[in-house]
Structure 1
Amino acid sequence: MREDIEFDAEGVTLRGWFYAPDDAGSGSHPCIVMAHGFSAVKEQHLDDYAEVFAAAGLACVVYDNRGLGASDAAPGTPRQEIDPWAQVRDYQHAITYAQGRDDVDADRIGVWGSSYSGAHAYVVGAIDRRVKAVSGQAPLVSGRRSFESLVRIDQWDPTWEAFAADRLERARGGEPAMMPVITEDPTAPAALPTPDSYEFFTRTQRDRAPSWRNEVTLRSIELFQGYEAGVYLPLVAPTPVQMVVAARDRLVATEAATDAYERALHPKRLVIAPGGHFDAYTGPGFEVSSGAARDWFVEHLGVGKVG
């Protein structure tokens, strides 16, 4: 069963869905807190994951990141601005919301994320001991490394200069610079300039998520390139941590994720899903990624125990 929800994140209203377990009766249940990756909104397949989790006895809080989809932006902050640290804090607000529900067991909270939010899941798991299990799929682990692989080397200096110019313009009261998330031409400037990014966002906007917008602030890219979530992986322990990587991920680099996984401490588990970055959301990749996360949470959150 799914219900529309909203909750406060220090003055910002975040909106999403609450999924009760399929077999929900009286008592409280373990709950997974979930948000999407870079620029994405919940309709871009997060409902599919939540349905798998709910069928296994897990409640879910699914929400849009601030300034995206159905959620509000912070006062004075433009929509389509993606601040990874604000999103980390919003995971914590979502945990608090979940813990305040009578049908959620406050002592059995897990966090799940994908791509950019996969990075957030590891950071939240490291800094917030309310979290009892973590699963991240196709995770970003190094913003600088991803920036250097997505932006041509001859464009690094012009991009850094554009960051500085944007800060000056915004300080003078001007409008923030914007850039597209995707373009059909992979050589054109975009936040995610890969063919599979273009296919995923074009398809899901058409078929599932008309609220998704193909733009982000330029500052979102500046914040992205300074986000080094992988350094938090060793700090998640003793909370159980899982990493699901795509075998041929060229957006966040499979080898970077698996290198970071080696630095995580036990208990941990690595799962390899077929295909590239976005193949985790559909077909065989979805069966592997959703099943692995479901089983991890069932194992570590005590599904079946009455709270």
Structure 2
Amino acid sequence: MRNPFGTLCAALLLCACGTASLSAQEKQLNENKMMEEKLNLAQEWDKVFPQSDKVNHSKVVFHNRYGITLAADLYVPKNAEGKLAAIAVCGPFGAVKEQASGLYAQKLAERGFLTIAFDPSFTGESGGQPRYVASPDINTEDFCAAVDYLSTREDVDAGRIGILGICGWGGMALNAAGIDTRIKATVASTMYDMSRVTANGYFDAMDAGGRYELRQQLNAQRTEDYRNGTYALAGGVADTLPADAPQFVKDYHAYYKTPRGYHKRSLNSNGGWNKTSALSFLNMPILAYSDEIRSAVLVVHGEKAHSRYFSEDAFKKLKGSNKELLIVPGASHTDLYDNFEKIPFDKIESFYRTYLK
């Protein structure tokens, strides 16, 4: 005869174990929330592009594994159902989510993807001290942290997550794809390799002697910063340009310093990065293992862009039949920030639909 007392005890034990497990999960969620810094997020629509009536927008926060809380704009297609493919967007280097990355994120949400556009650590509405610091490691981690966040949302299919990096964050996106196997598809648009341009200068014009002089300048700046208790800024895009300024510098001015793209929190629109941020990029090149990326990659660049060589050289290193380079006829570097006639959204959507399935 079955022992009813034993059956009851077993049932109670199962209930207790289930309750303990649930409590542990709740405790972990609470601890995650406690890790996140309280950020002062703007509630008004303060983007440089108009709000779409095809998506729902809200602000979210998440943290990276260094404990820095990141701020993001979440874009969800209206009337979306079930678990969606998701894309995390960031860039350009020195921009904020209210500029080009938000435009990309909103447009891709209109096309059916759940997207976030986030501010990197130490910039925009995201946390981290001191302000306006860039780091090849931490900024790569920011993309991986975005994947952490998306992977744990109930409305996201964790097996269908992609990333998209613009300008300097195009290089960070490729770097993240090299380490994070959860990323199934990566788009690098109008890409810069920030470690290469910092160490070698534009068009690889800087030699070892030039790098040594730069190290001397930056380390002298470290001493001054420590003595002053503040971090000097490198300066964003200049308010006025000489007539003989290179065309790409004029293009940056036309975006960051005019109503087209100016934003009060954008480093490029204002005081720029902390000067000594360049030190880590001099010494720690990204893309060292990009040839080992197995997931899909689409590299997009403008035919007329001064920075085109970054994408072409990065693409040469990639391996596999799921890698593609698209050169947009007639496009400059900044055309791929916000020019709907040049940004190949049809191709980008098709790429994600192929590999996020």
TM range (shorter): 0.7 to 0.9
In the TM superposition, 1:57-136 aligns within 5 A as 57-73=112-128, 77-136=129-188
Please tell me the residue identity of whatever aligns with 1:272: I
Cα shift at 1:155: 6.8
Q: Distance in 1 between matches of 2:203 and 2:227?
A: 30
Q: Distance in 2 between matches of 1:162 and 1:226?
A: 15
Q: How many residues align?
A: 290
Cα shift at 1:219: 1.4
Please tell me the residue identity of whatever aligns with 1:47: G
Q: CA 1:228/1:158 → structure 2, altered by over 3 Å: closer, same or farther?
A: closer
Cα shift at 1:210: 2.4
Q: 1:279 corresponds to which residue?
A: 335
Gaps spanning 5+ residues in structure 1: where?
Answer: 303-307
Cα shift at 1:118: 0.5
Is 1:223 aligned with 2:280?
yes
Please tell me the residue identity of whatever aligns with 2:175: V
SS of the equivalent of 2:343 reads helix
Q: Which has the higher contact order (CA 8 A, sep 6+)?
A: 1
Q: CA 1:155/1:127 → structure 2, altered by over 3 Å: closer, same or farther?
A: closer
Q: Distance in 2 between matches of 1:166 and 1:88?
A: 25
Q: Distance in 2 between matches of 1:131 and 1:137?
A: 17
Q: CA 1:89/1:265 → structure 2, altered by over 3 Å: closer, same or farther?
A: same
Q: CA 1:259/1:8 → structure 2, altered by over 3 Å: closer, same or farther?
A: closer
Q: Distance in 1 between matches of 2:89 and 2:339?
A: 21
SS of the equivalent of 1:194 reads helix
Of 285, 288, 293, the residue aligned with 1:236 is: 293
Q: Distance in 2 between matches of 1:151 and 1:270?
A: 22
Q: 1:256 corresponds to which residue?
A: 310
In the TM superposition, 1:1-307 aligns within 5 A as 1-9=56-64, 10-25=66-81, 27-73=82-128, 77-141=129-193, 143-145=195-197, 147-149=200-202, 158-170=213-225, 174-183=229-238, 184-185=240-241, 194-203=249-258, 209-213=263-267, 214=270, 215-226=272-283, 228-237=285-294, 239-250=295-306, 253-266=307-320, 267-273=322-328, 274-284=330-340, 286-288=342-344, 290-302=345-357
Cα shift at 1:157: 5.2
Cα shift at 1:198: 1.9
Cα shift at 1:91: 1.2
Equivalent pairs: percent with the same residue? 24
Q: CA 1:47/1:32 → structure 2, altered by over 3 Å: closer, same or farther?
A: same
Cα shift at 1:212: 1.8
Q: Distance in 2 between matches of 1:218 and 1:187?
A: 26
Please tell me the residue identity of whatever aligns with 1:235: E
Q: CA 1:186/1:111 → structure 2, altered by over 3 Å: closer, same or farther?
A: farther
Considering only CA atoms, is the larger Rg found in Structure 1 or Structure 2?
2
Please tell me the residue identity of whatever aligns with 1:44: Q
Q: Distance in 1 between matches of 2:261 and 2:318?
A: 38
Cα shift at 1:109: 0.7
Q: 1:305 corresponds to which residue?
A: none
SS of the equivalent of 1:33 reads strand
Q: CA 1:155/1:175 → structure 2, altered by over 3 Å: closer, same or farther?
A: farther
Q: CA 1:199/1:58 → structure 2, altered by over 3 Å: closer, same or farther?
A: same
| TM-score (norm. length: structure 2) | 0.73
Please tell me the residue identity of whatever aligns with 2:201: E
CA deviation vs aligned residue, 1:100-156 (integer Å, no higher than 9, x gap): 110011111101101111011111111011111111111123623455228986975
Q: Is the 8 A contact 1:122 1:232 kept in 2?
A: no
Between 60-69 and 134-143, the greater mean CA deviation after superposition: 134-143
| TM-score (norm. length: structure 1) | 0.85
RMSD over equivalenced CA pairs, Å: 2.7
Q: CA 1:126/1:151 → structure 2, altered by over 3 Å: closer, same or farther?
A: closer
Q: Is the 8 A contact 1:247 1:254 kept in 2?
A: yes
Gaps spanning 5+ residues in structure 2: where?
Answer: 1-55
SS of the equivalent of 1:131 reads coil
